[in-house]
Amino acid sequence: MRPTIKDVAREAKVSISTVSYAINNSDRISEKTRNHVLEVAKKLNYSANSNAKRLRQKNVGAIGIFFNSWFGPIYSELVQGIERKVHEMGYDLIACSLFGGAESTAHRYLKDHMIDGAIILSNAFDDDFLKSVASKDLPIVALDREVKAEHIYNILIDNFGGAFGATKQLISSGCKQVHYFCGPDDSYDNQKRLEGYIAALGFYNVKFDNNLIIKSDFTEEDAYLKMKEIIDQGDAPKAIFSANDEMALGIIRAANENGIKIPEQLKLIGFDNIRESERTTPALSTVTHHKYEMGVKAVEVLFSAMNSEEEIEQVTILPTQIVERETV
């Protein structure tokens, strides 16, 4: 059986209060006593029962992170930022399984308040659910998603601005026709990027042409297929703004296979600056955002919400920048 505080007290011949003070580094006991207790605790391999501790202290000491899949390459740096910052704040970070729908660990941990705060990168929770669990005691930070409610904070990147800038650059480099490779309709990112694209057309008085909007789904494979299709139809695009980099990868592959020279015959800008984007031939120009910093920011907002009494921003928008490589 696991030793309890009682066992340590008995073995060290002190009261359980003293053990508690020793373990928690209180300065109310003498150095000598503390060392003695700590020694005994170590000998018994004692560690405090967290359930008892948390019950007493009314805090959990953990932040939950929720993503659709535990394995999406995009998030890697973002999560690193989150991990480091949460650790720095002295909290634990746990990710909960979403398997099982409304009965999933993720749902239970949110409902049962098994965490002190949540960071969400997932659309597996609907807005109503999030609203029902968010509170001052369990604030939620949602990334790349707009959820307007008390105790829910949104951190977004400037999708609109990034798309606007990318499209603008394509147009101002002389392209009168800019194709837009589109992500899924229900993607928040895609919507905003499309808006930015349209706004840039408007800015330059270029007429919006629905035929230039290529419906795809954010995957390399589908974009590759769509691009090949277009090329086969005989009128290859001169300029493309791709709503994400993965699709841009597929576009490059199709272009290369068909002898279309980039950037001479086709200019291309992606979005996200994923790792692979600098390794393509030619290297992909793209819109970047600081993922690591986004993670850090998310944690900062979360802890302000947990601790501070003052109003904090409900929505934070992080800037984007164009990184010019060889496709434009």
Partner DNA sequence: CTGAAAGCGCTTACAG
Binding site for a second copy (CB under 8 A): 2, 45, 47-52, 54-55, 60, 62, 69-73, 75-76, 79-80, 83-84, 86-87, 92-97, 99-100, 103-105, 108-109, 111-114, 132, 137
Considering CB distances under 5 to 8 angstroms, the limit depending on partner class, which of DNA, a second copy, none binds residue 14?
Answer: DNA
134 near DNA, judged by CB under 7 A: no
Contacts of 61 (CB under 8 A, 6+ apart): 54, 90, 91, 92, 116
Q: Between 121 and 200, whose beta carbon lies closer to a second copy?
A: 121
Considering CB distances under 5 to 8 angstroms, the limit depending on partner class, which of DNA, a second copy, none binds residue 206?
Answer: none
Q: Between 30 and 265, whose beta carbon lies closer to DNA?
A: 30
DSSP letter at 179?
Answer: E
∠92-76-104 over CA atoms, to 5°? 55
Shortest Å distance, C-beta 296 to a second copy: 13
Shortest Å distance, C-beta 97 to DNA: 22
135 near DNA, judged by CB under 7 A: no
Q: Between 8 and 284, whose beta carbon lies closer to DNA?
A: 8
Query: What amino acid is encoded at 59 in this protein?
Result: N
Question: What is the distance between the alpha carbons of residues 152 and 159, in angstroms, rounded to a whole number?
Answer: 20
Q: What residues does 149 pair with on adjacent strands?
A: 152
Q: What residues does 155 pair with on adjacent strands?
A: 143, 316
Q: Is 260 exposed, middle or buried (0-12, 13-18, 19+ CB in 10 A)?
A: middle
Residues 24-63 close enough to bind DNA by CB under 7 A: 24, 27-33, 46, 48-49, 52-53, 55-58
Q: Where are the alpha helices (DSSP H) in 185-288?
A: 188-203, 220-232, 245-257
Q: Which residues bind DNA (CB under 7 A)?
A: 4-6, 14-18, 20-21, 23-24, 27-33, 46, 48-49, 52-53, 55-58
